[in-house]
Amino acid sequence: MPSLTSALPNLGRFWTIANVLSLSRFVLVLPIAVLLWQDGSLGWLLGLTIAVILTDWFDGRVARWTRTVSEWGKVIDPVSDKFAAILTVSVLTFRPVEPQLPLWFLGVILGRDVLILAGGAWIARRSGTVLMSAWAGKAASLWLALTVVSIILKADPPVLNVCLWMATGLFVFSFGVYLVRYLNAVRRSPPPDAQPPANNGSASGDAASGASAPPDPSVRATFADVGRAAR
């Protein structure tokens, strides 16, 4: 019976300096969420926020400098970003102090990210095609950050409203961009039952020799796509 590790694709080294930097955002965002909920110290809040931004800026560069780029990093980095964003927006939506974010804004972010992740994983399984992140998604993330900062600094309502509606518009627009790209990928890729059959002789030879087949590239693409499409 094959082990769990043999069933998973090879995503490269897990414990690298770059991946540790990415994983640190899962930890750093927790005290940020507590401080936002309690409307705590602005100094601590800004310091921890800067630390999160620095880890996001350095992790990819460290991976390239140390030549430790891996599929794990391509998954962990964007997932940690989305975890931090969703947790922060959730706290700012339900916290008992003003100002707050509207509930519908949290719904827009959650709905968009879930659909993009599901669509990207489905496309990767169907065709093995990895769809890169679009510029519209990066622009939406920038305005989301500006919206959160405007709440932290208790900006005037007109400033907060501009940031809020710019972020919302870009999130909706970026979802449309991803949807068009997904539809184009579906039209270009053949359905699963149209793929050529596997070489039975080769498969039986591998089984007879006890050698295990290499990981399916489309499965590897699924893991990478879950990370990269989330941006």
Question: How many degrees, rounded to 5, is the angle at CA 229 between CA 195 and CA 95?
Answer: 145
**What is the DSSP secondary structure assignment for residue 3, as one 8-state letter?**
-
pLDDT digits (tens, 9 = 90+) for 29-60: 999 999 999 888 888 988 888 888 888 788 87
Query: What separation in angstroms does the CA of 45 have from each of 5, 84, 133?
Result: 40, 14, 29
pTM given for the model: 0.67
Question: How many degrees, rounded to 5, is the angle at CA 127 between CA 126 and CA 131?
Answer: 105
pLDDT digits (tens, 9 = 90+) for 134-175: 667 778 877 887 888 888 888 888 999 999 999 999 888 988
**What is the DSSP secondary structure assignment for residue 210, as one 8-state letter?**
T
Least Cα distance to 173 among 142, 143, 136, 144 occurs for 136
Query: What separation in angstroms does the CA of 191 have from each of 9, 186, 200, 205?
Result: 23, 8, 21, 28
